[in-house]
Homo-oligomer: A and B are copies of this chain.
């Protein structure tokens, strides 16, 4: 277990879509899951369940869900398989996305679920599971493990729900692939904090706190 300061972990926890063939060991994955349980949740109810997917049967289901997703996101992002000679940034990004979906059946992944209580909106229910997912991602980063959120549990929800046996009153909130990164990782690309922070009133710059908007 590596020590990594929290600032570096947060600033470098980038989505990884290209992985080596090395399997993720139990201890490393277990620490990610334990870190997930440290997150806050409404009333400290901890109404989350994490399902690790790695049997051949569930990997096959994940691969089918990924294929469904790819068909949906291709037109959404105006994406097509790039020419092998195309070395542009967008081509490299698309190539990684295709490789990620094509290899979906090889990965270990984790499904994040949360109980569907009627007492809160779906948005607020998300507030009691996505912090756990973020802790999971940071714990992965701290151990050098790569991770990537997917849309597969959304577009392939019916398939995954029935195959895993997720009860109807549990929401499938997120799905994260994990693995050992291949190649080096570029920096985060984010808007300046001054562009997304207001002071007291919507639209009022928070310059004293976060610097000017760009």
Contact = CB atoms under 8 A, between A and B. Distances in A.
A35 interface: yes
Contacts of A37: 190-193, 196
21 contacts: A4-B5, A6-B10, A10-B39, A10-B135, A37-B193, A38-B190, A46-B190, A46-B191, A49-B196, A50-B197, A51-B197, A51-B198, A51-B201, A58-B200, A120-B154, A131-B133, A134-B134, A134-B135, A165-B201, A165-B202, A165-B203
Given A52-B200, A166-B202, 15 more contacts: A6-B9, A6-B138, A10-B139, A26-B208, A29-B209, A42-B149, A46-B190, A51-B200, A55-B200, A122-B126, A123-B125, A124-B154, A130-B131, A138-B138, A165-B203
A29 B210 CA distance: 8
A50 B204 CA distance: 11
Interface of A: 1, 3-11, 13, 15, 26, 29-30, 33-40, 42-44, 46, 48-55, 57-58, 77, 120-127, 129-131, 133-135, 137-139, 141-142, 149, 151, 154, 164-167, 171, 173-174, 188-193, 196-203, 206, 208-211
Contact of A123 (B39, B133, B151, B171): B171
A95 to B, nearest CB: 17
Copies in the complex: 2
B196 A50 contact: yes
A141 B51 CA distance: 29
Please list the 4 inter-chain residue pairs (A to B) with the smallest Cβ-Cβ separation, ordered nearest first.
A126-B126, A130-B130, A131-B134, A165-B202
A198 B206 CA distance: 44
A198 B127 CA distance: 21
A77 to B, nearest CB: 8
Contacts of A1: 7
Contacts of A30: 193, 209-211
Contacts of A13: 38, 40
A206 B197 CA distance: 41
Name the residue among A34, A151, A197, A209 with the largest chain B CB count within 10 angstroms. A209
